[in-house]
């Protein structure tokens, strides 16, 4: 009887431990688009998703053009999602309307844009908690260091990798994962 109780306890503890170590699904995270409408990440199952924290007044802002080029080239297998953030040198101070007008007028952006998000710190959005914490993404811990840092998720919702700002959207480090 003691052996059965002990085995049951071991099984219970190991099952609980396995459940805690299992990563959270990115498809369960709630996002809001720049226009206020909900974004359902589950709608992109089967496609890669490239998440990029963006800003309108940054030295990397011209990457919007390559993000649009990447989206145009691979949109049957890729969704690009820009996440405006004002956390780096206040380089995204505008309203949602300002951001949309800037991106459309200057770069012809047609890919998805979220509302402004905190990508680091105490109020870090759940999306960026998932992208930056191995306990949630099941792969790696990282830190968002600057605007235009990129995170690639595969069509099954697994984090592929992340890329610092200097890696341009059309770089082979990213595109090789889309073939």
Predicted local confidence at residue 79, as pLDDT: 98
- pTM score: 0.87
Q: Tokens representing 58? A: 């940054």
pLDDT, tens digit, for every residue of 130-159? 999 999 999 999 999 999 999 999 999 999
Task: Dihedral sign for Cα 79, 126, 141, 18, please.
Answer: negative
Active-site amino acid positions: 58
Collect the ranges in the chain with pLDDT lower than 50.
5-21
Predicted local confidence at residue 86, as pLDDT: 98
Give, in words, the CATH class of 23-178.
Answer: alpha beta
What's the distance, Cα to Cα, between the start and end of the chain in Å? 57
């Amino acid at each position: 009887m003691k052996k059965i109780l002990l085995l049951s306890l071991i099984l219970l503890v190991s099952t609980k431990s396995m459940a805690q170590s299992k990563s959270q699904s990115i498809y369960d995270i709630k996002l809001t688009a720049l226009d206020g409408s909900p974004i359902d990440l589950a709608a992109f199952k089967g496609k890669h998703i490239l998440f990029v924290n963006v800003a309108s007044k940054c030295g990397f802002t011209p990457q919007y053009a390559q993000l649009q080029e990447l989206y145009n080239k691979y949109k049957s297998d890729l969704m690009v999602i820009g996440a405006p953030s004002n956390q780096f040198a206040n380089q995204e101070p505008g309203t949602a309307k300002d951001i949309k007008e800037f991106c459309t007028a200057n770069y012809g952006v047609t890919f998805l844009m979220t509302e402004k998000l905190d990508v680091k710190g105490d109020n870090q959005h759940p999306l960026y908690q998932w992208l930056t914490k191995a306990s949630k993404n099941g792969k790696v811990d990282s830190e968002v260091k600057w605007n235009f840092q990129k995170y690639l998720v595969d069509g099954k919702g697994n984090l592929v990798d992340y890329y610092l700002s200097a890696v341009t959207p059309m770089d082979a480090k990213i595109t090789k994962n889309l073939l």
